[in-house]
Amino acid sequence: MPHAFVVLISWTAVAAGALATLAQYRRVRTLGVEGVSSATWLLFTLIGGFWIAYGAWSAHSFVVVMGSLLCWPLQLAIVVRLAPWRHQRGSLQAIGMFTATCAVPGFVGGWSYCVYGCGLAMTLLRGPQLVELVRVGDWSGVSSASWFFSASCAMLWITYYSDIHLWAPLIATAASGSASLVIASLSVWRHRQGDEEFVRREVFAT
């Protein structure tokens, strides 16, 4: 694959990741945080810090660094709105998962172990968001566009990692991208349910 095309794919992935985070930030700012998992977004922020470190010190890739660095301020803003200090159990679970799957494997086996562990965490961190979509009655804060952008971003990163033969982050990204697609599809279904319920209430009210 031509080098210039690979570079274009990688920067498109950076843009898609930033758009995914921006879409969720705009939704929680305008419609509130209902249905959005604080544990998921706290883990996103922690893992974003890991990818910045990995890109700088192991992959030596400026584009990998920027892939998380551009999203970090928005992720932090979303986390602040979700007030994880009010959800101590979920926050402790998020920190514990990051420690067990990313930090500890990194100390034991180096960057490659850390990346595989991060892939596991990136997949598992979608779990709290799936639970929220199933459990709660109000999903208005969840941005379907954000999760579709996230899945598209994963596909672009997979292409990039495949070309430069970084197999650990490729596997990690493939797993998390599949989970993002599941959440995106479920959130669309939930939003349609909400719209139908709103229409029914309006009809019966009149």
Over the stretch 56-97, which tens digit does the pLDDT of each residue have?
998 888 998 999 999 999 999 999 999 888 888 888 888 988
**Cα 109 to chain center, whole Å?**
25
pLDDT single digits (tens) 127-156:
766 776 666 655 566 777 788 888 888 899
64 burial via Cβ count (<10 Å: 0-12, 13-18, 19+): buried
Enter the tokens of residue 44.
């996103």
Placement of tokens 């490729």 in the chain: 170
Report yes or no: 114 and 102 within 8 Å, Cβ to Cβ.
yes
* Closest by CA position to 38, among listed 1, 72, 74, 89: 89
pLDDT, residue 72, reads 94
Q: DSSP readout, 65-118?
A: HHHHHTTHHHHHHHHHHH-GGG-HHHHHHHHHHHIIIIIHHHHHH-HHHHHHHH
Work out the average pLDDT over 180-204. Answer: 62
Report yes or no: 198 and 178 within 8 Å, Cβ to Cβ.
no
- Give the domain ranges of the chain: 3-205
pLDDT single digits (tens) 158-170:
988 888 888 878 8
Work out the average pLDDT over 9-16. Answer: 90
* Closest by CA position to 51, among listed 13, 1, 85, 25: 13
For residue 100, the 8-state DSSP code is: I
Report yes or no: 39 and 128 within 8 Å, Cβ to Cβ.
yes
pLDDT single digits (tens) 97-122:
889 888 888 888 888 888 888 878 87
Residue 14 has pLDDT above 80, yes or no: yes
Q: pTM of the full predicted structure? A: 0.72
Work out the average pLDDT over 27-52. Answer: 86
